[in-house]
Amino acid sequence: MDSNSSINPLYFEQQSQIGIKDYICCFCHLVPNPETAIEDENCGQLFCDICIKIWKSKNNACPVCNLKLSMKKLKNTNIMKYNNILNLVIICQEENCKWEGKIKDYYAHLNNFHKKSISNTSTKFELYKYYQASIHIHPLKYLDIKMDNGWYCDAKNLIGGCVSGLNEYNISKNFKRFRCMQCDYDLCEKCMIKFYDNKWIIKGNTSNNRYLYLFKKTYYSTVHEHPLVFLDKSFENGWECDGKDLTGKCLSGITGFNQTHGIPRFRCEKCDFDLCENCMNFHRKKNFYELNKSYKVKCHNHPMIYIGVNYSNGWVCRGKDLEEKCLSGITNFHQTDGFERFRCDKCNFDLCINCMDFYLINE
């Protein structure tokens, strides 16, 4: 296990959450490995070793007290704080692992039981799959190396900047890109590795983005008469999935209240009706299109021809120019590889599958 590995504060047990803010690195908002943690002797601020090295390469003043940095390893300067961190109780951050213990034993546990699975993080990323970073609310699509310079890494806005130094446009050629198709947000590979949260990997997602739902947008299901609004992951337990009352039961296994913490929620405010993401995926109302057949839409004068999944980035969904914007989050060219495409050749006008579903005229 990398000795610089940091810990998400959410994984500490309840008692250890008390006063946890005193142990958090101000750059990445994670708890540093105490063996490599750095403390500023002036103000006592704690940093991850790698975070402060990146910062110091550009600025020699402490980001907290603004005095000249006076850095020493935590265990050499503040043995009390060092011991406090060592004795915090944590549950293992690795998926499906039930280990719980003190931090002083945690890194040995990772080395003994999870070394193989985390030895090379970059190999986990699969082209056109979606991955969650701890610094962004939506999943990011892995687009591999792009020969286009028109993006920068949005980690540049964090203290310490982008790990790869992609802090401006026109220097990103040949860098691997992870993109949020909803927010015009990008991360380079090194920043994705640093902030990667594999507990939230979007499993089983297809490359055409059809089930990447947009926050506070409405979607229709085959099991409810009104549209459901996507409310993102819900961190309150005061709702249940109404899929439990359907023939196939809830596809997430929800049978009542107090089981929905952290599960994406779709809600009809009119009826107090909710579906979890798995039930929404299964019961979502979809239109089925025939290849090369034309379809009329509300947003364009000519019919649209369905040309299937398109593996070219040389088109853009014109839903981006409409009032609702593109319902797949497309904002420009070079974002449509793997999307289903509908085209009007007369006008050079294209729509993605989600916009087509929305604007289709059912005759």
The domains found in the chain, sorted by start residue, are 9-118 (3.30.40.10), 121-200 (no CATH), 221-283 (no CATH), 294-359 (no CATH)
Q: Please identify which residue in the block is written with the tokens 């610094």.
A: 135
Closest CA to 281 of 234, 231, 211: 211
**pLDDT at residue 123, as a whole number:** 44
* Residue 181 · residue 209 · CB < 8 Å: yes
Angle between helices 79-86 and 103-113 (to 10 degrees): 50
Among residues 6, 78, 75, the alpha carbon closest in space to that of 42 is found at 78
Strand partners, 309: 340
Structure tokens that stand for 272 in this block: 């107090």
Helices (H) and strands (E) in the chain, counts: 8, 17
SS3 358: helix
pLDDT confidence of residue 349? 95
State the pLDDT at residue 202.
39
Residue showing tokens 């109404």: 242
Query: Which pLDDT belongs to residue 299?
Result: 94
**Sign (positive/negative) of CA torsion 350, 353, 354, 356?**
positive
Q: How far apart are CA 319 and CA 20, in angstroms?
A: 45
pLDDT tens, position by position, 4-25: 467 877 778 777 778 788 888 8
- Tokens linked to 75: 């265990």
Q: Quick one: pLDDT at residue 246?
A: 86
Q: How far apart are CA 316 and CA 349, in angstroms?
A: 9
Would you call 274 helix, strand, or coil by DSSP? Answer: strand
Q: Which residue has the tokens 């296994």?
A: 253
pLDDT value at residue 350 = 94
DSSP helix/strand/coil, 39: strand
The predicted pLDDT at position 236 comes to 66
Cα 28 from Cα 161, distance rounded (Å): 10
Determine the pLDDT at residue 304: 94
Q: How many CA atoms lie within 13 A of 214 on its CB side?
A: 17
Q: How far apart are CA 344 and CA 264, in angstroms?
A: 35
Specify the pLDDT at position 275: 93
Largest pairwise CA distance in the chain:
75
Instruction: For tokens 């989600």, name the residue.
Output: 354
Distance spanning both ends of the chain, measured CA to CA: 60
Q: Are strands 228-234 and 218-219 parallel, antiparallel or unpaired?
A: antiparallel
Length of the chain as a residue count: 363
Q: What is the DSSP letter of 195?
A: H
Please report, in tens digits, the pLDDT of each residue of the chain (363 residues total). Answer: 344 467 877 778 777 778 788 888 887 778 888 888 999 999 889 988 877 887 887 788 888 888 998 988 988 888 998 998 899 998 887 766 778 899 888 877 776 776 533 333 444 677 767 777 777 767 788 877 756 677 899 988 776 678 888 888 888 877 888 888 767 789 998 888 877 755 434 333 333 333 456 677 777 787 888 888 888 766 667 889 999 998 778 888 888 888 887 788 899 988 899 998 888 877 776 666 777 888 999 999 999 998 876 656 778 999 999 988 887 778 888 777 667 789 998 998 999 888 888 888 876
What is the rounded distance in angstroms from the CA atom of residue 188 to the CA atom of residue 172?
9
| CA distances to 3, 33, 79 from 88, in Å | 18, 12, 14
What pLDDT is attached to residue 287? 66
pLDDT at 332 (0 to 100): 85
Contact 38, 49 (CB under 8 A): yes
Report the alpha-carbon distance of residue 50 to residue 126 in Å, rounded.
26
Q: What is the pTM of this model?
A: 0.37
